[in-house]
Structure 1
Amino acid sequence: MADSQEIFTYYQNGRFGIPWCWKEKTGVEGCRKLNVEEFPLSTARTPPSLRDQPPPPPKPTPAPVKREKKTLIESSLEFHEWLNAPSAPQQKPAPAPEATKPRVKPFDMQDIPDAMERIGWPMSAKIMRKWFAGDLNYANTDTGAIRGINQNGKPFPAAMVDTTTFELRWILGFARARAKFDELVNTKLFDDSAYGSLKKIAKRLEPSPLLHRFMENV
């Protein structure tokens, strides 16, 4: 993508981090296209310390530095050499810098949570910071993502499974989530596919007279 002088309008999150207050940025405050090949996503920043780790052992106290004792004659000779040392050559004035294209600060992967907060996604930022500070763990297949199987073919470790950050009442604050939840509890739980799923689960359980009687009546 080549640089462009065309100004584009964008919207910035309003004051005090209120997610529904957006301010239009246009004209001199607008943005313009830059050559994206010059600004790749950076991974140069040192990763955060692993969470849920025991405190590190205390650092050993360094031994005191012993200064070498010098005689009066040795000190006098060093001072005399310093007085007679030639002055540093004067440097030529640096040439005037050439006009450069505007550059942007490198965007590091660990800047993503900050960007999320700026657009009003504080919970997403929180969970991403928690993931960054955890053990290396990711699913490399769709099936692994569904079943919680990581890149090593093993179940996700307990420290990398979050069950407390996103509460149901927070999720139901979104209209789309509320609509699907109501559909689930009012309709989907009572259709034929739900009964079929229950039968599959029941077949994997230990047999019992009560369960057998229930399955006969389904």
Structure 2
Amino acid sequence: MKTHKAVWAVLAAAGQGRRAGGPLPKQFQLIAGKRVLDWSLEVLMAIPAIKGVVVVLPAADPSLTSATIKTCVGGATRAQSVLEGLYELARWGAQPNDLVLVHDAARPCVPADDISRLLKAAEYNEDGGLLAVALRDTLKQADDADHAVARTVPRAGLWQALTPQCFPLQRLARALENAAGHEVTDESDAMERLGAKPVLVPGSSANIKLTYPSDHALLEAWLMQQQPDKQRME
């Protein structure tokens, strides 16, 4: 899709992700023959509106650099890492009001159509937006002592936040700077602390995050299903 604003992206790939198992952080693990972060980067690079992507890594990796991809080293937290990515975009030439998609490298299955709908929504909402899925199942809050049910949580109006999330560069940078010293779970959380009300854009349930070892099979099945028939036969 075409937008009236320039669009950039930050791919957050600096975390440790140890719950996914294996000797490597989850974003560097192989699924269907590629690293998870490479699948996620491929999705972003296929969006025509995106001018360039900054991949935020735990250490420098010049092999990823190209005319439309830059890398930078992340910080101690996700918020700090994304902020480093925004600073790199600004050095690259991104303007304060340009839109920035922030995507988690551990979500390689986000459909391109979802990203296009998010961009359309965020372009006309000064507070930006995020992909999300309305909760379907009954929620239970556990008693931390023995994991027994403490209460049932009403799910009406509750959504599961996904990525990408999309915000104007300068406002997101200010929000993340303001959140320093606080635990923020995603970029929307930081924006909300400044009084913003990002729009929720319904996303696909296929946009799952590699979190536990059991997620590998689900992600591989979905990714292989999306490949051309010839490639699957090979």
Give the TM-score normalised by structure 1: 0.22
Instruction: Look at both structures and tell me which one has the larger radius of gyration over its CA atoms.
Output: 1
If asked which structure has higher relative contact order (CA below 8 Å, sep 6+), I would say 2
Which structure shows the higher helix fraction?
A: 1
